[in-house]
Every structure is written in structure tokens, then in C-alpha cells.
């Protein structure tokens, strides 16, 4: 925070910024050698204080003072036998700031802060950082400053910001774990509100036992329409531990044993802390790493079998079209996954087509050259036929993932038929995506297969004869815009292949001019749009386009991140031809 505000202060003084390094030299020449006068953090605080006071920003000034106090790690509310110069300086500053004992005690007790205080501090820091980000962006545009960082470095930075701060439906917001080391709660209560009540229907989470007097007088910690999101939020933020007592008022939808079973499954499947994503992972399309498919948590069709006689053929136990009425035994599916950028996402599907919709979503998040997930687990909470349902869903998902990530890239007509609730659906595994089509009869069935074999490339390109290079097909990823540059080899410029967020393609041949200028202009255009990132009153676009270069090594096309410097040599090809192509350049 302090360093970011120092950079903002420099921009405010532009074009004649007073650099701290020059200040140090000047003070040495002037003989200003005191115990703290040349301390770098004290000098940063002094300069930032001058800047924020001049622009009349007391909110961020108070925040940066608190950050400085916590950074020094001298707890002034506690007596010390030995008083060093740091404690003496901090005491002097606190006295000048007018802080009372209550504020010092609160800050010194940071190790015991719980989620309310941590989230308040997290939001304060985020708002301040976003304000600095906007001020620096406006400064750069106003002065027409060019970016000296490489597109690859910018891509990694924006990915870090995007993964950490972008607010999206279904994304689990993770608070900064460095603010407080322990957010665990002794009691957590999940309460379901059905439709038609005064409050929004859905699930509410409280950090107390279900005493109605205490519940009514407190705001919930978190709300979501679906239980999966609340459990994930509590687990990944450290509120939910093995010592937490769980309570639930589920209105017959979810009872306590089912909740406890789900919590145990999630906690065993997902490690709480992982290493930060590597630059290679951040610059590459995100890939699912750990996936949990949660079946029939909130809606279980098999619950209707209780105390009933159900007629079915043991030789045809199809959980997707079960019994004489061909009912689908999957009533709801919740997805919980962590990707290679360390984002945690949740999705919910219900109804007869929940299995089809969940499959299409999972497969759509896997580009063809992606590595298989490290783990895929199916958790089923049905009252009856639980093992059968779990096994069948696990088999189906594994088969579809294998088809999506198959190494036989030339097969454009890979196909999977699935019968759900008495209706046949076709999943067509095309080069850039997976499409789903309902097949009413034999004519549609064979017609759809023939069409997909003939038109496996489901994109619009420049002419019917032009096809995307296979290396571009394999690198396509939904949700981001990708630019691929390719040298023509005949000194007639270069080719550009552009894939939008839905993997629709545009092809431009024999382009002339500067690729570096194109990259800069495109990045500037997308960074100025305000329709992607929303946090309170802040609007920032972190999901910038990604730029790649197609190069050839020993006649083999490969994709590497675009660099502003010309690529004179290419590292030797990896001996393991089954390894991901980018491994050769980032390992």
C-alpha cells in the first residue's frame, strides 16, 4: 500500500518528481543524520503524508498510517522493558496522529481478528488500491506514456489482479490470509429461507449457534441462493474447521448429517492452501485443477422412492432414464472447482437437464491442449441408489473429459450420445468447443453426426478454404480474447488469428506494420472498457487479451508468449513429445 501511494505521489509531482534516493543524498550532504531520518519506510510515509494531505484525502491517509503501524510490529499497548529507536519513533508518530489507547489495543490484537474485522480491512485496502490504480492509469493516458514492460509481464500482472479481485457470480471471494492468521469459528449456522418470505429465498450463514434471539439481532456473514457456495466460502476462508460445530435449518432440503458429510468430502478433496500460481500458469489459459461434482445435494429425486414400490429392470439400471417413467435420478448438480490461477468457482444446475448442462459447462472450460484435472471427484447425497448414481456419473464425466482432451486432434466428429429422461442428446466434441443438440429421431441423429463430421470447425473464417492452424485450435480457451501472430515466411508481413471469448475466429493475412504498436493499442482499448470488473463503485478490466507468437522448431509449430524483442533463437524441443508445448519455454 505504501509503495503504491509513493508511486502515485511521484505521478502527482510529474514531470519533476522528488525521488527518495535524491532526498537521502541531500540529507546526507546537509548533515541530517538522525536515528530515523534516513529510514526508508519513514521517508516513504513522510512523502505519502505530504501528498495525501495536499490533495485532502484523510481516508487513505488514516489507512496508510494503520498499515505503517502494523508493518513496524511494535505493539505500543503492551509495555516493554527495553525501548528501542523504532518504538520511540512510533510512539512519537502515534502521539502526533492523536490515536487513543482503544485504537492501539484494536490494532495490536490483529492476530485475533475474525471475519468481520478482516473483511472490513480487506475491503478498505481493495478500495484504496483500486483508487490508486485508476489514478495511475489516468496519469499514464494524460501524459501519453508508453509501457516499458513486456506484454508477457503485463499479462501476468493483470492475471494476478483478475484472479484476486474480479467479482463474478459463483466465484468464491477469498479474503487476504495475511491480515489475520486464524478466522476459525466455533459455531456456524446455515439457515434456508424458502420462496415467498420477506427475505430473499436461499441460504444464510451465521457465526453463532441457532439461538433465534441472537440470530435475529445479527446480520448474516454471507448469503447465496445455493448451499454449495456458502460451504465453499466458509471452508476456503478458514472459518470452517474440524473443530467447528455445525447447525442447519434446512426446511427439509438438507439435514445436518448431509451437511456434515458434504463438509467432510470438500475438506478432504480440497487443500486449503496451495503455492501461488506460477507466471507460466498465469499467462496460459486457466485450467481446472481440482473438481468436485456434487450430486443431489439440494434436490434428490430418489427421496420420492421412500415407502413406495418402484418398478425397474435390474438389467437396465440407467440412472439418467430410470424405471418405467424414464425419470432422471439427478435432480441437482453443484460444481466446485479450483483452477490453475487458484481461483475457486462454484456453479449450480437443477432440473431434468442438470447433467447435460453441467457436462457442457465442464467441457467448455477445458481447451483441447489442457492438462487433465489433477483430481475429479463425484460426491452423491441421494437417499437411495447412491453408489450406482455416483459410479455412473463418474464414468460419464471421465469419458467426456477423455474425449475432450483426446490426443487424436484430427478427429473433428467425435460424438457421445446420452439418453436423459427418455430423450436422446448428442454431445459433439469439436475442435474449439463442445456443442449439445437434442436428437428427436433417427434422421436428426444421423444428420447431426454427418454435419459435425463435415463441419468440425465451428467458426467463421475469412474464406471457406482457410482453416486455423492446429496449434491455435489446441490453445483456444473460452472466456478470454487471444491474438496469435504468425510470420508468413515470404517477407509479405505476418498473419493474425484472433479468437474472441466465445472462440469465434477472425483471420487476417499479410498484415504490415508494427506488432508491438498493435499489442499496445489493443491492450489500451480493452483496459479502457468498463464492463468486466465491478467492485462497489470501481470499474476495472483485468481480463485483458492475451498475445502469442507461433514459431516453428524442426518444422513443428509451437505457441509461445509474444515478446517485444525479436526471437532469434528457439530453445531445443523437449525430448518428451507428449509434454505440453509451452513447457519447453517456461520450465
Q: What is the pLDDT of residues 120-150, one digit of tens each?
A: 999 999 999 989 988 988 888 888 877 676 7
| Within a domain: 122 | yes
| Within a domain: 421 | no
294 and 263, same structural domain? no
Q: For residue 473, what pLDDT is reported? A: 82
Residues 6+ apart with CB under 8 A from 524: 141
140 and 9, same structural domain? yes
Residues 6+ apart with CB under 8 A from 262: 231, 294, 297, 379, 381
Q: For residue 487, what pLDDT is reported? A: 87
Say if residues 522 and 146 touch (Cβ distance below 8 Å).
no
Residues of the chain with pLDDT under 50: 442-443, 446, 450, 452-465, 528-541, 566-587
385 and 326, same structural domain? yes
405 and 289, same structural domain? yes
- A 10 A CB-CB count for 317 gives 14
| Within a domain: 449 | no
294 and 259, same structural domain? no
Say if residues 426 and 437 touch (Cβ distance below 8 Å).
yes
| Within a domain: 491 | yes
Residues 6+ apart with CB under 8 A from 471: 550, 557, 558, 559, 581
Q: For residue 243, what pLDDT is reported? A: 96
| Within a domain: 422 | no
289 and 215, same structural domain? no
Say if residues 50 and 9 touch (Cβ distance below 8 Å).
yes
What would the grid cell of residue 544 be? 485483458
Residue where one domain finishes, among candidates 409, 437, 455: 409
Q: Which residues pair with 559 in a beta bridge?
A: 550
123 and 235, same structural domain? no
What is the DSSP pairing of strand 245-249 with strand 187-193?
parallel
Nearest residue to 559 via CA among 568, 543, 570: 570
Give residue 559's domain range.
470-586
| Within a domain: 401 | yes
Say if residues 381 and 313 touch (Cβ distance below 8 Å).
no
Residue 233 CB-density burial (10 A; 0-12 exposed, 13-18 middle, 19+ buried): buried
Residues 6+ apart with CB under 8 A from 195: 201
302 and 262, same structural domain? no
| Phi, psi for 489 (deg, rounded to 5) | 85, -5
Q: For residue 461, what pLDDT is reported? A: 36
Residue where one domain finishes, among candidates 409, 429, 445: 409
> What total of structural domains would you count in the chain?
4
305 and 264, same structural domain? no
Amino acid at each position: 500500500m505504501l509503495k503504491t501511494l509513493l508511486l502515485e505521489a511521484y505521478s502527482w509531482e510529474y514531470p519533476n518528481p522528488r525521488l527518495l534516493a535524491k532526498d537521502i543524498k541531500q540529507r546526507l550532504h546537509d548533515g541530517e543524520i538522525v536515528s530515523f531520518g534516513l529510514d526508508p519506510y519513514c521517508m516513504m510515509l513522510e512523502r505519502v503524508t505530504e501528498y495525501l494531505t495536499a490533495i485532502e484525502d484523510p481516508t487513505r491517509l488514516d489507512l496508510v498510517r494503520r498499515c505503517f503501524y502494523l508493518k513496524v510490529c511494535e505493539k505500543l499497548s503492551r509495555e516493554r522493558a527495553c525501548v528501542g529507536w523504532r518504538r520511540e519513533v512510533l510512539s512519537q508518530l502515534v502521539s502526533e496522529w492523536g490515536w487513543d489507547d482503544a485504537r492501539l489495543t484494536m490494532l495490536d490484537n490483529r492476530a485475533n481478528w475474525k471475519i468481520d474485522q478482516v473483511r472490513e480491512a480487506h475491503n478498505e485496502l481493495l478500495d484504496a488500491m483500486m483508487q490508486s490504480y485508476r489514478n495511475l492509469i489516468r496519469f499514464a493516458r494524460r501524459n501519453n506514456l508508453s509501457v516499458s514492460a513486456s506484454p508477457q509481464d503485463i499479462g501476468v500482472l493483470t492475471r494476478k489482479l483478475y484472479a484476486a479481485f474480479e467479482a463474478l457470480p459463483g466465484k468464491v471471494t477469498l479474503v487476504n490470509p495475511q491480515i489475520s492468521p486464524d478466522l476459525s469459528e466455533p459455531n456456524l449456522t446455515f439457515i434456508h429461507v424458502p420462496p415467498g418470505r420477506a427475505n430473499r429465498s436461499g441460504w444464510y450463514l451465521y457465526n453463532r449457534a441457532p439461538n433465534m434471539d441472537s440470530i435475529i439481532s445479527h446480520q448474516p456473514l454471507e448469503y447465496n441462493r445455493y448451499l454449495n457456495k456458502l460451504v465453499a466460502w466458509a471452508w476456503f476462508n478458514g472459518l470452517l474447521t474440524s473443530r467447528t460445530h455445525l447447525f442447519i435449518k434446512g426446511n427439509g432440503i438438507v439435514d445436518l448429517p448431509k451437511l456434515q458429510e458434504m463438509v467432510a468430502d470438500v475438506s478432504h478433496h480440497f487443500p486449503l492452501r496451495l503455492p501461488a500460481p506460477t507466471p507460466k500458469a498465469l499467462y496460459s489459459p486457466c485450467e481446472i485443477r481440482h473438481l468436485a461434482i456434487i450430486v443431489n445435494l439440494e434436490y434428490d429425486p430418489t427421496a420420492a422412492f421412500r415407502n413406495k414400490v418402484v418398478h425397474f429392470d435390474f438389467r437396465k439400471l440407467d440412472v439418467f432414464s430410470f424405471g418405467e417413467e424414464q425419470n432422471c435420478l439427478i435432480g441437482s448438480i453443484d460444481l466446485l472447482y479450483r483452477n490453475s490461477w487458484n481461483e475457486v468457482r462454484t456453479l449450480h444446475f437443477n432440473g431434468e437437464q442438470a447433467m447435460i448442462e453441467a457436462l457442457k459447462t465442464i467441457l467448455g472450460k477445458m481447451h483441447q491442449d489442457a492438462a487433465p484435472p489433477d483430481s475429479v471427484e463425484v460426491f452423491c447425497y441421494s437417499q437411495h441408489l447412491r453408489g450406482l448414481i455416483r459410479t455412473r456419473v463418474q464414468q460419464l464425466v471421465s469419458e467426456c473429459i477423455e474425449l475432450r482432451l483426446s490426443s487424436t486432434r484430427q478427429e473433428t466428429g467425435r460424438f457421445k450420445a446420452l439418453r436423459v429422461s427418455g430423450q436422446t442428446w448428442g454431445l459433439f466434441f469439436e475442435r474449439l468447443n463442445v456443442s449439445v443438440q437434442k436428437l428427436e429421431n433417427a434422421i436428426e441423429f444421423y444428420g447431426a453426426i454427418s454435419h459435425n463430421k463435415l463441419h468440425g470447425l465451428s467458426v467463421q473464417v475469412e474464406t471457406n478454404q482457410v482453416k486455423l492452424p492446429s496449434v491455435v485450435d489446441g490453445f483456444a480457451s473460452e472466456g478470454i480474447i487471444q491474438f496469435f501472430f504468425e510470420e508468413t515466411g515470404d517477407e509479405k508481413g505476418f498473419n493474425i488469428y484472433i479468437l474472441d471469448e466465445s472462440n469465434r475466429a477472425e483471420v487476417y493475412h499479410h498484415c504490415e506494420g508494427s506488432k508491438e504498436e498493435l499489442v499496445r493499442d489493443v491492450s489500451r482499448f480493452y483496459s479502457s472498457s468498463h464492463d468486466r470488473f465491478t467492485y462497489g463503485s470501481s470499474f476495472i478490466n483485468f481480463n485483458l487479451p492475451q498475445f502469442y507468437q507461433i514459431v516453428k522448431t524442426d518444422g513443428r509449430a509451437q505457441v509461445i508468449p509474444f515478446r517485444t524483442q525479436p526471437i532469434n533463437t528457439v530453445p531445443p524441443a523437449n525430448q518428451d513429445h507428449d509434454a505440453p508445448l509451452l513447457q519447453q519455454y517456461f520450465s
